Amino acid sequence: MQLTGIITAMVTPFDDNQKIDVPATKALVNQLIRSHVNGLFILGTNGEFHVMARDEKIQFAKIVIEETNKRVPVCVGVGGNSTREVVELSKAMTAIGADVLSVITPFFISLTEEELYHHYAVIAASVSLPIVLYNMPKNTGINISTDLVKRMAKIPNIIGIKDSSGDIANIKSYIEATKKEDFVVLSGSDSLILKALDEGAAGAIAATSNILTNINVSIYQHWLKKEKNKAEEAQQSLEELRGILKLASIPAVLKKAMAIAGTPVGPARYPVLPPSEAAIQEIEAAVKAYQKKHAALAN
């Protein structure tokens, strides 16, 4: 399966009791698909996978997969520190109908290249589903080397990588190293969507598309039509939102912005607290500014 275009790094809606909000999840899935995203990426960083129990992950994935009903691919995060646990979760997600699995590198400890290769090779051998590697060195402490990506791209069901390094040179090196393979590189940095496309990336897994869906989609659509100026305008328009995302821990600002914009998805899960009152004022101002010019930017 080829993953292309704008794939939303979907948040996980929680209710006020910190439990999965089923109606809000279904509503968000349908809203994103109506806005023409090319796929859904769940249980990633903005999906708060790291604070969810195994059974919750399966429950949430099942809701999303059933509601999506094959309208777009659903890529499910199954990463963790233990190879055995990742294999077990991968099998469970396969059984409930996931289209693609995403596996972030282990974290907390440093691994050798051979250990990392073995981790991914064992996981890939355990399932038939396509697998997307997930590189996020700032959070995990591990950067998947270009040589290792090139080697893993030869494993038949490892079909791509989401790169959230924030380094366009890193994305470019992955593209160059795998150009002879059936392998896609996807930007995990929303600020680099257009640059990554220009370098040969297949698309982006974008968290800002939870709220600025039309703008994100328009970057890709304008790029396809070779409308460079319009694509650049849409890309630049993401910066105001990206600028406020650092006002609180991930994904508290994004979730608050979505609520202000009319898409309630509840709070982030503890230990992440809601944004401060001062931060909320900045978030409200940014959302209102987007709402004024949103239609023009999305067309």
Local structure of 142: helix, strand or coil: coil
Q: State the Cα–Cα distance between residues 24 and 93, nearest whole angstrom.
A: 21
134 is catalytic: yes
Pick the catalytic residue: 120, 134, 174, 290? 134
Pick the catalytic residue: 57, 162, 255, 256? 162
In percent, how much of the chain has pLDDT > 90?
Answer: 94
**What does the pLDDT look like over 154-183, one tens digit per residue?**
999 999 999 999 999 999 999 999 999 999
Angle between the 83-95 and 54-68 helix axes, to the nearest 10 degrees?
30
Could you tell me where the beta strands, DSSP code E, fall in the chain?
Answer: 5-9, 39-42, 74-77, 100-104, 131-135, 158-163, 184-187, 203-206
Per DSSP, 263 falls in state: -
**What does the pLDDT look like over 26-57, one tens digit per residue?**
999 999 999 999 999 999 999 999 999 999 99
Q: What are the structure tokens assigned to 189, written together?
A: 């940095």
Residue 297, pLDDT above cutoff 80? no
**What does the pLDDT look like over 98-149, one tens digit per residue?**
999 999 999 999 999 999 999 999 999 999 999 999 999 999 999 999 999 9
Give yes or no for a contact between 55 and 81, defined as CB atoms under 8 angstroms apart: no
Mean per-residue pLDDT for 198-207?
A: 98
In percent, how much of the chain has pLDDT > 70?
Answer: 98
- Our CA angle for 144, 147, 151, nearest 5°, is 95
162 is catalytic: yes
* DSSP H or E segment with residue 79: none
* 96 is an annotated ligand-binding site residue: no
Q: Strands 74-77, 100-104: parallel, antiparallel or unpaired by DSSP?
A: parallel
**What does the pLDDT look like over 210-269, one tens digit per residue?**
999 999 999 999 999 999 999 999 999 999 888 899 999 999 999 999 999 999 999 999
Instruction: State which CATH number among 3.40.50.620, 1.10.3210.10, 3.20.20.70, 3.40.50.300 fits the domain covering 5-236.
Output: 3.20.20.70
Domain ranges of the chain: 5-236
